[in-house]
Every structure is written in C-alpha cells, then in structure tokens.
Amino acid sequence: MGEKFLVHGGARLTGEVTVGGAKNSVLKLMAAALLAEGTSVLTNCPEILDVPLMADVLRGLGAEVELDGETARITTPAVLNHRADFDAVKQFRASVCVLGPLMAREHRAVVALPGGDAIGSRPLDMHQSGLRALGATSSIEHGCVVAQADSLVGAEITLEFPSVGATENILMAAVLAKGLTVISNVAREPEIVDLCTMLVQMGADIEGVGTDTLMVRGVDKLHPTEHRVIGDRIVAATWGFAAVMTRGDITVNGIAPETLGVVLQKLQDAGATVTERADGFRIASPERPHAVNVATLPFPGFPTDLQPMAIGMACVADGTSMITENVFEARFRFVEEMVRLGADARTDGHHAVIRGVEQLSSAPVWSTDIRAGVGLVLAGLCADGVTEVHDVFHIDRGYPNFVGTLTALGGRIERVS
C-alpha cells in the first residue's frame, strides 16, 4: 500500500487494448454462486485485487474458491456460514452483496458494514427495507447488518432511487422467496443484466430484465452454472478518455459499445472521431478537446465512475465545462488533487466549473478511490515533468495490468515503493 506511480507527461497514447471482465459485475456474480450448492464457474474474470478479496469473503462463508487466471471456480456447500465479519469485508464495498444470497439460502445474515472507496455515504437503508418487505427483520447492530426471517415471501417493492447494490441484494434474496416479487425503479446497468442472465441460467424465473421493473417468481432451488463475465465498460471508456486527453488514437476491444452510448457521444462532442464496432470502438482525437458539460446519472446516463475522467478531460479542454455529480456527493474530492496539478477548477455542491488549460503541471497527488486514481494518472500524462500518484493500491482494485497496458500504449509510468 506504500507504492506510488511516477507518471511522465507528454506522451501521446496510441494502439489497441482488450478489456477484461467487469469489476462491477464479477464480484456480484461471485456472490450469486452462493445461491446454489455445487460448483459454479466464472470466466473472463478481471485479474484485479478485488477478486481475491471477494474470494476470501466467500471462503469465510464456507465456500471453496479457486482462482486460475481469468477463471473462478466457486464450490458452495449445502449449509453456509451466515456471518461475514469485518476483517473479510472492510476493504471493499461490494462485499455487502453477500447479504441477499445469505438471506435466500440461510434466512439469516450478519454482514459487517463494508469499507471501500471514499466517494460519499452509501447507506444500506434500501437494502434493509427490501428485505423487510420480503418478511425479514433487519437492523444495524455493533457495526453489522443483522437480518433474519422464518421464510421470505414475495412482495411489491419500489426503490426510492435506482440503487445498483439494493437492486442486486433484493433480487438475489427474491429468487428463492415464495411467490412473486415485483421490484420497481430498479437499476438498469449492464452489470444488473449480467447478474440476471447468470441467475436465469441457474434456474431463476425473472422477467423484465433490462427494464426498470423486475418480476421475480421464487423457485425452490437453483443449480450451479458456468457464465462469462461481460466486458468492463468503465475500463473501456477510461482508455477512450485517455485517447482524447493525450490527443491519441486508441482502439478498444472486448466491450459492447451500446453500453457506453452517452459516453461515446460526449467524447465525440469533445472533438474525437468515434468508430463503433460489434465488440469495441476506436477513439481518434489529434487535437485539443473541446469543453463539454457532463451530468452523472444512473444508466443509461453518464456513469458516476467516469466522472473523474470527465473532469480530467475538462481540465485540459479548450473552454469551460460544468460537471454535475448526481450520485455520490464526495466524488469531488478528486478536484482538490487536480488543482494541485494546476487545474482551474471550482466546486459548489453538486457542480464543478472547470476552465481548461493548455497543459497541467506535475505535482504529488493522492488517490482517494479507484477511478480518481486513474483520473490522476491520465492528468499526469498531460502535465509537464513527472507526477507522483500515491495510494495506487486503489487502481489495482479495478484495473488489471494497468502499468503494462499504459506502457504498451506509449505512456511512461513507473511503479515504485
């Protein structure tokens, strides 16, 4: 955790990248494997730090997990340990997604409140209210979510906000509940669709996949399956922003471009030439980007995970951009680090106003989360001299072989202790 990156400015990134499986999908799919006794196999898993961390969480619940490159084999026993303690879940937020499977299988769960990225409060109120609607009791006790039920029974549930995490937990609890569950105002992210696809392969009865309403008819039992994780749209788009910020030309493979519709449009508005293919896209942007306004929203809107990259692009763009954050209130902490690099940026509540400069200036900066860390690296590529990016373990949690990929594209970056 004491490692840092030395990022040399002035590189123009060019070349080809193939993205692996989605971080925001694979961790939830690993949790879904708990729903069926036996061995499930996930392929196209990204080789990132969060995958072995999630494997440790599942092992603590009694599962056997074997990681072999891009393949994860998860063997789930007949009876699960219902406690996920703090040591297992403290390092990353996605660990809370074991709550739904534990309630479905064991009708009881004690899951420590998770840690993870410093991007603002992400309370579990909607997770708990969904479980209560299914017939469970749920409360926060001694730093843990404590839930139990004699049985889970289908219900009509409307989410206050299309929360990805709440959608996933309620969905995974409902697939083994008795009767029909209707969940309205659900998240529609491609990662939710990927989870539904795997659950249906396991024998779940789900209708409305990809819409804002899911209808789940509970079944008595699910069976193990083999499933390929979808490509990581956030990593894919990151390389698109890298091309625009460095006035480069990058082809990205392994992703369905329709999952990034609004993002690719913003890159095009910034002056890039965007060419879509069935399994990827190409971003060519030889000139300084134009300023564009961006507002983060749930899918199909602009992803909050790409907000730091949008800010990075705005900092070197020609003109003034307004970036509006509608999902996580603390994501603008990243702007303070950009100011260290010479950015002309001001924040006010949910808004950041950024006047682009021709070139940033190198300085020591600190990552506060996965995406902010990568955004700082991309900014360092647009600065004079060498930028030190600290706390790069965050980047390792979400970007496989980040240094190797960036180097192959022509960037100059070193990892040092």
Find tokens 């990827």 and name the residue: 280
Residue ranges for the known binding site are 23-24, 93, 305, 327
The fold for domain 4-19+231-416 equals UDP-n-acetylglucosamine1-carboxyvinyl-transferase; Chain (3.65.10)
Return residue ranges of the chain for CATH 3.65.10.10: 4-19+231-416, 23-228
Per-residue pLDDT of the chain (417 residues; tens, 9 = 90+): 589 999 999 999 999 999 999 999 999 999 999 999 999 999 999 999 999 999 999 999 999 999 999 999 999 999 999 998 777 676 666 778 999 999 999 999 999 887 544 444 456 889 999 999 999 999 988 888 899 999 999 999 999 999 999 999 999 999 999 999 999 999 999 999 999 999 999 999 999 999 999 999 999 999 999 999 999 999 999 999 999 999 999 999 999 999 999 999 999 999 999 999 999 999 999 999 999 999 999 999 999 999 999 999 999 999 999 999 998 777 788 899 999 999 999 999 899 999 999 999 999 999 988 999 999 999 999 999 999 999 999 999 999 999 999 999 999 999 998
- Which residues does the annotation mark as catalytic? 117
Enter the CATH code of domain 23-228: 3.65.10.10
Residue ranges for the known binding site for phosphoenolpyruvate are 23-24
Closest to 397 measured CA to CA, from 7, 43, 91, 38: 91
